[in-house]
Amino acid sequence: KAGVTQTPRYLIKTRGQQVTLSCSPISGHRSVSWYQQTPGQGLQFLFEYFSETQRNKGNFPGRFSGRQFSNSRSEMNVSTLELGDSALYLCASSMNRDSGANVLTFGAGSRLTVL
């Protein structure tokens, strides 16, 4: 069973540009979440999507957005990049059972460097 796939793995952008990151969840997983990992802030929740709807959102500015497609694949976009957006962006998927907790399975991440 393939894991969570994130592309690209590494990318370099300059301030003011925008970036789009892609995530393919595990087959059968309908919930996709995004996280930002930085040395100073650790792992921070960005947002979660299920059935193409955003159900939960973290405390990030509106420059951070995402979407989910009908095949559960997801993209996140960061506009007007700032130096502080340099981070590892992690995507995670889960089965989203109706009851009980859902364990997140993470991808390897997309390493974004903003110059």
Should residue 83 be labelled a site residue for another protein when binding is judged by CB under 8 A? no
Half-sphere exposure (Cβ direction) of 114: Cα atoms closer than 13 Å: 18
Sole binder of another protein in the list 45, 75, 86, 95 (CB under 8 A): 45
Helix (H, G, I), strand (E, B) or coil at 70: coil
Build a one-symbol-per-residue string for 88-107: x at contacts with another protein by CB under 8 A, - elsewhere.
--x-x-x-x--xxxxxxxxx
CA atoms of 16 and 2, how far apart (whole Å): 35
Should residue 31 be labelled a site residue for another protein when binding is judged by CB under 8 A? yes
> Smaller CB distance to another protein: residue 49 or 114?
49
Sole binder of another protein in the list 58, 65, 67, 95 (CB under 8 A): 58
> Smaller CB distance to another protein: residue 14 or 51?
51
Helix (H, G, I), strand (E, B) or coil at 78: strand
Antiparallel, parallel or unpaired: β 5-7 and 10-13: unpaired
Should residue 23 be labelled a site residue for another protein when binding is judged by CB under 8 A? no
CA atoms of 4 and 1, how far apart (whole Å): 10
Measure the CA angle with vertex 5, ends 93 and 77; round to 5°.
80
The site for another protein (CB under 8 A) is made up of 4, 31-33, 42-45, 47-50, 55-56, 58, 90, 92, 94, 96, 99-109
